[in-house]
Structure 1
């Protein structure tokens, strides 16, 4: 159903999920934006790496609220610090690492929507707004790959020249 009203959410409002070792708070999903946009408050532990992958249909924008990221996109590599904006175009492989000794907090915008539904499909509702324990279970890799592919996201082989350590 199309959005007919505006919305204001506070910093910790939304639907929290533990997802692949992170805390992801879905702020707004495609079901509220006629499929046009997802916004997710993504909190990742130190050393967390989103390995090389590609979004077939969606552009992705990160606004880094806290922390430092090493970002790779195509043949480019950047360090993004607090208050930085990162644009990752659809169809271009990318990945990132939280290169700090503390959690990083990223506001992720995906257009069109779909990424938030992936979090809902693979995540577990978080009982509180904390990162999951380091030993929290994650779905098997084949399930992650199948669900991600259904949402237009697939892992790709990272070129050695851009390898994120």
Structure 2
């Protein structure tokens, strides 16, 4: 709900919860609710899970780790982040994250400007209580690639070669 002078106040249970494959995304603020300024989501990501390398042409992305250990790729470097760590990825930077732990990890995502919530909801499935999320279907996998350009998303961008002209093996699609 919007309060006085355009202040937005949403209750924690508010927003839409989406299964995106085996991960769960609960949107706390969307492009629609913030006038396009940002998207904010809480995610639960199973061990070993996370997106492939990608970049956002116009969106900056930030992560705040609530629990678990995540390996991040940023540009051509990898690093680990854990509870309390904040990671900022400016638009145009190739990145990905992967849950490096043995338990589901939780993190907060922030996209600015808003809009990635629309990508997730176009592809994902509305979560249902008492039912576990399932791996992405072939149709959802097709949609990931088909809808990416419309949302300024570049999947599997090439790695920047090092001084010797080689790239790291983790960057393969």
Verify same fold: TM over 0.5.
yes
Q: Which residue of 1 aligns with 2:144?
A: 144
Larger radius of gyration: 2
Secondary structure in 2 matching 1:90? coil
Runs of 4+ with >4 A deviation: none
CA RMSD of aligned residues (A): 2.3
List alignment gaps of at least 5 residues for structure 1: none
Q: Which residue of 2 aligns with 1:163?
A: 170
List alignment gaps of at least 5 residues for structure 2: 160-166
Aligned length: 162
Matches within 5 A, 1:3-152: 4-10=6-12, 12-128=13-129, 132-133=133-134, 135=135, 137=137, 139-152=139-152
Summarize deviations over 1:135-159 as a string: whole Å, max 9, x none: 4635343321111221111212453
Scaled by the length of structure 2, the TM-score of the pair is 0.83
Secondary structure in 2 matching 1:163? helix
1:21, 1:132 within 8 Å by CA — same for their partners in 2?
Answer: yes
Higher share of residues assigned strand? 1
Scaled by the length of structure 1, the TM-score of the pair is 0.87
